[in-house]
Structure 1
Amino acid sequence: MTAVNTLASTVAPGQARMALRGDILYFLRDPGWSEDATGAVRFEPDGWLLIEQGRVHAVRPADEPPDASWARQDWRGHLVMPGFIDTHVHAPQLDVIASFGAALLDWLERYTFPAEARYADPELSQLGAERFLQALLAHGTTSALVFATVHKTSSEALFAVGQRLGMRLITGKVLMDSNCPADLRDDVVQAEQDCIDLIERWHGVDRLAYAVTPRFAATSSAAQLTMAGGLLQRYAQRAGGLYMQTHVAENCDEVRWIAELFPDSRSYLDVYDRRGLLTRRSILAHGIWLDDTDRQRMAQTGSSIAFSPSSNLFLGSGLFDWAKAEAAGVSVAPASDVGGGTSLCQLRTLADGYKVLALQGQRMTAWQGLYAATRGAARALDLEHEIGHFAPGTAADVVVWRWAEGAVQQRRQDMARSLHERLFAWMLLADERNVAATYVLGQLRYRPG
């Protein structure tokens, strides 16, 4: 892959006004689960996306071209969409992606913890942050909620690289003071000070935000979880408030273990709820084994679930029931969860998500899947005003995709009889090899070759 720090083609670095020409697709609202998305989707074949000073100015149909003051980039025959948003992904776990033969708890011991221990080294943290964020861009993702490691330097590196690239990035130091290796264990006092230092330095700066990040209930004491809840309350009015990211109810053995560690809590979710960790900016990964009371409580607090189908299948964790979550009023957004997942590409995540839901009699349309990975994910992150669609004033985070890469994809596109059929085939068959260009705030940041 190639990182690009200046605009190419006819657009010079710092170009104030730019027009991308291509097949423009974005969502106006939640399309629901029907194949009929009338009123929810805007599609402009051979249309114009006008970008001014890094923000969307307008979307125009093919017969309303911009005047000569707009520098043009010609992407005719390509699909132009808002950049994908990943709501749960582990930056250091690129080192162990696709490792053999482990369920969740064994996976942590055999692969994850040793990989994360290496990130105590500032130089490795910097190199890892560069590698990870460039890989996100190469896979069509322009915004992400990211797990760093327990080391302060790991978060610092992600923030610094994300700031340089202009990305909408949310991350934070992982909290772990229990049931983990000694070289990854922190303590309540030092962990709190590290979090405060990072919050004061980075939260609300440019497009960056801080996420309070207890890994999961098993690796944090009750005191540490209470401290984490206190941080959310302390900074509730700063830059929209902090985020909270963690895991919940991913694996049956894990759920049983949490019940043993916290016998006074009604459920795994209740462990977090009792300590003030459920807010409208709380994203909890997986949620496979939640019950109806848990889902009701998530809806009441505005918390969201990061649906990680590739990881759930790979680790054998179970099948997430999206219909139950939605019926309870819980927001759901797709997530790669690399390295438990097997690709950073959200198209591959959605393809696995379709299969997980199909096993339960649920059918995810292309509309619902692509909405969830763009505007729906932005809504879950409380960022619908900024990213995930092309309304005027939103950030010009854009990915240009090839409709087809290779003969099989091309033949399927040629045979499609409707826009939905075409998009559904693309969602299931395309991947990062279909990325033609990635823009962040209107700046070209990745182009293959």
Structure 2
Amino acid sequence: MSTSMQAYRASLLHFTGDPAFDEHATQWHGDGLLLVEDGKVKAAGDYSQLIASVPAGVEVQDYRGKIICPGFVDTHIHYPQTDIIGSPAPGLLPWLDNYTFPAERRFENPEHAAEVADFFLAELLRNGTTSAAVYCTVHPQSVDAFFDASHKRNLRMVAGKCLMDRNAPDFLRDTAESGVRESEELIKRWHNKGRQHYAITVRFAPTSTHEQMKLAGELAAQYPDAYIQTHVAENTDEVKWVKELYPDARSYLDVYDQYGLMRKRALYAHCIWLDDEDRARMAATHSAATICPTSNLFLGSGLFDFPNADKARVPLSLATDVGGGTSFSMLQTMNELYKVGRMGGTYLPAARMFYLATLGGARALQLEGTIGNFAPGCDADFVVLDPKATPILTRRSATTDSLEEQLFALAILGDDRAIAATYSAGRLAHQR
């Protein structure tokens, strides 16, 4: 009897909720079995209970000693900034002028865009990231190149063309009308094609005129299942600039709200300099905050306020924000997330950091039940973590006496070397 089932034996980790609010959210099977069929999760649980349901002839892939968890979901990253990661600058705005905008100019060349997209996706998979919300450039061809590369690999990705019709170099500007027209053409070409999803991408309020913001809001209303992604309240100089450009708005976030850009499937990067009214509005509209600790520290932007975000129950997720962010690794990003929390007086358990990198990201994308955990029917996007990937991890893992300690060691000491394998839709996409 032929079957398309695959079976993987390892310790299994996934979440049914946010451990900060649900003490039973962490699902752990020390000796677990993950069953996959036709690219979807069929079952996940204890090996002893599930092995009898594996058909004869199905080989069990033995990953004992390792941990299988859902693939990481990076909710804010810029693929055109791959080549400028680690570039020096005294702050956000000069970094954009000196590095980001010149690098993005090159994406008018489709061949360059395709080459970078290939490297970028390989780097995500090498770091265990199976889904991401990705910024392209102002050029439609940069979006086509990205989605073409992702679709060929059958990855679940969200991406969009930047809308920017002012306060940027001439070579990176569209117009209010052309930007939205091109975005709609890209939506029709790519949104929900296979596992691809389109995001209406206002780069940030300073680079869009009132007219472009208005048209972007109208496009979002026309395509309610498309995503929205932008930046908000990252840097104090930026917040001041927005106040000068939009003097009638109550706050930076309110600029987007006035144009109908706050709703489910809206992703707001950074969210550092918000007030209580902003946070309440994010929670009410189900707009998600994408926390970017490595870029916030690298550019000196500030520290995310966990207590007030949690008090308001803002949907939270984790993001690398490459290239202002300094690593493609979500494990390294957890390391910095923990430190950002400590500097703000918050202690983040490892379980919550892994939640933010998996189910938290899926919830931000409104894709719970599709990605982010091992519920039956979810895409079989998963990563195999090796607690013995390096000498220091091996030594530390040998002395851990709880799941929390083991996960914490991976979050603080782990990097791309801890990713033994990455699977996307049930297929091996990377192996170390």
**Normalized against structure 2, the TM-score is what?**
0.97
Report if aligned partners of 1:17, 1:71 keep a CA contact under 8 Å in 2.
Answer: no
Give the corresponding residue for 1:6: none
What is the aligned partner in structure 1 of residue 253 from structure 2? 269
The DSSP-based 3-state class of the residue aligned with 1:39 is coil
**Residue equivalent to 1:61:** 46
Partner of 1:427: 411
Alpha carbons 1:322, 1:332 under 8 Å: kept: no
User: What is the CA–CA distance in structure 1 between the aligned matches of 2:410 and 2:345, rounded to whole Å?
Assistant: 22
* Residue 9 (structure 2) pairs with residue 21 (structure 1): yes
Aligned to 1:279: 263
Deviation at 1:423, TM superposition (A): 1.2
Residue 101 of structure 1 and its aligned partner are, at CA, apart by 2.8
**1:92 alignment counterpart:** 80
Look up the equivalent residue of 1:389 and give its one-letter code: N
**1:138 equivalent among 126, 135, 138:** 126
SS of structure 1 residue aligned to 2:383: strand
Asked if residue 407 in structure 1 is aligned to residue 407 in structure 2, the reply is: no
SS of match in other structure, 1:51 = strand
Instruction: Tell me the SS of whatever aligns to 1:20.
Output: strand
Determine the structure 1 residue equivalent to 2:95: 107
Q: Which amino acid aligns with 1:153?
A: Q
Residue 349 (structure 1) aligned with residue 333 (structure 2): yes
What's the offset of the Cα at 1:39? 2.2
RMSD (Å) for aligned C-alpha atoms: 1.3
The code of the aligned residue for 1:257 comes to: W
Cα deviation code 1:337-379 (max 9, x no counterpart) = 0000100111111110100110111000011110111011111
Listed as ranges, the gaps of 5+ residues in structure 2 are none
C-alpha contact (below 8 Å) 2:107/2:137 kept by paired residues: yes
Q: Do the aligned residues in 1 keep the contact of 2:88 with 2:95 (CA within 8 Å)?
A: no
* Mapping for residues 388-407 of structure 1, pairs under 5 Å: 388-407=372-391
Contact 1:23 1:44 in 2 (8 A): yes
Helix, strand or coil at the partner of 1:392: coil
What do the CA deviations read for 1:88-132 (whole angstroms, capped 9, x no partner)? 000011110001133000000001000100000010011111111
Q: Give the C-alpha shift of residue 152 in structure 1.
A: 0.1
Given residue 446 of structure 1, which amino acid in structure 2 is its aligned partner?
A: H
Q: Which amino acid aligns with 2:382?
A: V
Q: Residue 365 in 1 paired to residue 353 in 2?
A: no
Rounded to whole Å, the distance in 1 between the matches of 2:178 and 2:83 is 27
Per-residue deviation, residues 192-219 of structure 1 (Å, max 9, x unmatched):
2211110111111111111000100000
Instruction: Give the superposition deviation at 1:424.
Output: 1.1
* CA–CA distance in structure 2, aligned partners of residues 190 and 67 of structure 1: 55
- Please give the secondary structure, in 2, of the residue aligned with 1:439: strand
Q: Show the 5 A alignment for 1:145-294.
A: 145-236=133-224, 241-294=225-278
Q: Secondary structure at the match of 2:398?
A: helix
Structure 1 alignment gaps of length 5 or more: 1-13
Deviations 1:29-75 (A, max 9, x none): 22117xxx752222112311000000000113132323424232111
Cα displacement (A) at 1:191: 1.1
- Are residues 1:30 and 2:41 paired? no
Please state whether the residue corresponding to 1:415 is helix, strand or coil. Answer: coil
Whole-Å separation in 1 of the counterparts to 2:308 and 2:322 = 25
User: Does the 8 A contact of 2:7 with 2:60 survive in 1?
Assistant: yes
Per-residue deviation at 1:297?
A: 1.1
Q: Aligned partners of 2:23, 2:249: CA distance in 1, in Å? A: 45
3-state SS of paired residue (1:63): helix
Quote the Cα distance in structure 1 between the aligned partners of 2:59 and 2:150.
Answer: 27
Q: Judge which range, 436-445 or 68-77, deviates more.
A: 68-77
Shift in Å at residue 418 of structure 1? 1.2
Partners in 2 of 1:267 and 1:232 — Cα distance?
Answer: 21
In the alignment, is the contact (CA less than 8 A) between 1:54 and 1:441 conserved in 2?
yes
Where 2:61 maps in the other structure, the secondary structure is strand
Distance (whole Å) between structure 2 residues aligned to residue 409 and residue 438 of structure 1: 19
Are residues 447 and 417 of structure 1, via their aligned partners in 2, closer, same or farther at CA, if it must alter by over 3 Å?
A: same
The answer as to whether partners of 1:16 and 1:54 remain within 8 angstroms in 2 is no
Q: Which residue of 2 aligns with 1:80?
A: 68
Give me the whole-angstrom Cα distance separating, in 1, the residues matched to 2:406 and 2:124.
Answer: 25
- Cα drift, residue 407 of structure 1: 1.9
* Letter of the structure 2 residue corresponding to residue 93 of structure 1: Q
% of aligned pairs identical? Answer: 47
- TM-score relative to the length of structure 1: 0.93
